[in-house]
Chain A
C-alpha cells in the first residue's frame, strides 16, 4: 500500500506504484482545489493534519478496501499545507483485474477518507476564511 501525507502529489508516482502486469484496470480519483465555494471566490485552501493518526486511519481504510474487493494495490495520498485553485490535494487509486472492483474501491477510499481521517481544510476567500464543515 502506498499511503502518505505530502506537500505535493506526483500522479506518475501513483501510477508507477499501482500498475501491474496482472491488472486490467488502474483507477484513480484526483481531488483538486475548486476556485469557488457557495458563491464565493476561493483564493486558496490550507490543509492541516494530525499526522500520526491520519496515517493510521488512511492505512485502516486501505486495508478495508483490500478486504472488500479483489484488488492488487491501493494508494492514498493527501497533501498538507497551502494549495491554490487547480492544484491536486488528494489522490486515491487501486489496481485490479477488472474495472468494476477498481471503480467501487476507489470511490470507497475517497468517501471514507472524508468521514474519518483527521485532516482539516480552511478555505480562504477574498475577504475572509472558514474551516470547512466546522459548523452545522
Chain B
C-alpha cells in the first residue's frame, strides 16, 4: 500500500513540468514559476514556447524568448522532460 502511494505520488510530481521564470515574465504571469500540466503533452522547447504564448500573449511581444534546460540554452527542437530544470529566459540586460 505504501509503495503504491509512493508510485502515485511520484507520478503526479513528475508529470507536472515546472518552468522557472525571471524578469519581465514574472510580471506578465504574476508568478515565479509555472506548472505545465502533463495533459498539454508538451515535449519540445518549441512546443513550450507556443503554449506559453497562447497562455500569455504578452510573452509573444518580447524582443526574444529563450529556454534553458539544466542551465544551458536549448534549441527549439530539443526535448523537455519533467526531470529537467527548465527556465524561461526573456531578453537579458545585465551589465
Contact = CB atoms under 8 A, between A and B. Distances in A.
Interface residues of A, number: 29
B60 to A, nearest CB: 11
Nearest to B66: A118
Given A50-B22, A50-B87, A131-B27, A114 B94 contact: yes
A interface, by DSSP: helix, strand, loop or mixed?
A: mixed
Contacts of A120: 22-24, 90, 92-94
Interface in A30-68: 31, 47-50, 52-54, 56
B94 A47 contact: yes
Contact of B93 (A53, A56, A119, A136): A119
Contacts of A118: 22, 68, 87, 89, 92, 94
From A78, A118, A136, name the one whose CB has the most chain B CB atoms within 10 angstroms. Answer: A118
B92 A133 contact: yes
Interface of A: 31, 47-50, 52-54, 56, 78, 89-90, 110, 113-122, 131-136
